[in-house]
């Protein structure tokens, strides 16, 4: 837990811990590979072991992972994704670019979210990406590298974006699909 010095009271006051966008990827990866050790988890998410360790600590504090474990409490994760992610991590859109498909542009979500062929594509920008569309700032640095290596995580993170950017009906459909992905370990 971090803390700051309060000059008025001359005491150390604990600061409020809060989830970060990267924590969503850590939680989803732990759904896919339950109780994965820190080092393989860091490699899979293209980050450091210490960054993953801090993320798991935040997930534990939030009640998404069990105390002292890397076991994801799936109902808590689903509840946060469906009801909190779009408020905690609002979507930031950008200009048209080449990139990797996300939200309703992702092939697995196009039907689920009711996308049609004429609908505007959303992409995570990446040079040489397979599709062009309106860019959506990825939840964390390195997301495009991570999802290009893990199709299941790509689907799950695209579903999170569907929840973040969709209409009420699309958010409900994406939430139900996310529940299915979590229950089936995105097989």
pLDDT of residue 1: 47
Phi, psi of 61 (to 5 degrees): -60, -35
Q: What is the per-residue pLDDT for 7?
A: 59
Tokens 């004429």 sit at which residue? 118
pLDDT of residue 113: 81
According to the model, what pLDDT value does residue 119 have?
64
pLDDT computed for residue 187 by the predictor: 58
Sequential pLDDT tens for the chain (187 residues): 455 555 555 677 778 889 999 999 999 999 999 989 999 999 999 999 999 999 999 999 999 999 999 999 999 999 999 999 999 999 999 999 999 999 999 999 988 887 655 567 999 999 999 999 999 999 999 999 999 999 999 999 999 999 999 999 999 999 999 999 999 985 5
Residue-range domains of the chain with CATH? 13-86 (1.10.10), 90-183 (no CATH)
pLDDT value for 16? 82
Closest CA to 110 of 184, 153, 166: 166
Q: C-alpha angle with apex 162: 158 to 165, nearest 5 degrees?
A: 125
Predicted TM-score of the model (pTM):
0.89
Q: CA-CA distance, 138 to 91, in Å (whole number)?
A: 9
């Amino acid at each position: 837990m971090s803390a700051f010095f309060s000059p008025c009271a001359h005491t150390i006051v604990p600061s409020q811990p809060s989830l970060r966008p990267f924590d969503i990827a850590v939680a989803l990866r732990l759904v896919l590979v339950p109780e994965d050790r820190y080092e393989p988890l860091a490699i899979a998410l293209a980050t450091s072991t210490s960054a993953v360790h801090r993320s798991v600590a935040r997930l534990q504090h939030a009640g998404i992972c069990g105390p002292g474990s890397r076991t994801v409490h799936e109902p808590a994760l689903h509840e946060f994704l469906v009801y909190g992610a779009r408020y905690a991590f609002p979507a930031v859109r950008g200009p048209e670019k080449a990139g990797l498909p996300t939200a309703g542009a992702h092939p697995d979500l196009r039907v689920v979210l009711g996308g049609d062929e004429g609908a505007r594509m959303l992409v995570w920008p990446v040079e040489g990406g397979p599709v062009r569309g309106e860019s959506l700032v990825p939840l964390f640095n390195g997301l495009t590298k991570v999802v290009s290596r893990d199709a299941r995580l790509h689907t799950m993170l695209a579903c999170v974006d569907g929840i973040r950017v969709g209409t009420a009906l699309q958010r409900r459909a994406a939430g139900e699909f996310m529940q299915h992905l979590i229950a089936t370990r995105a097989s």
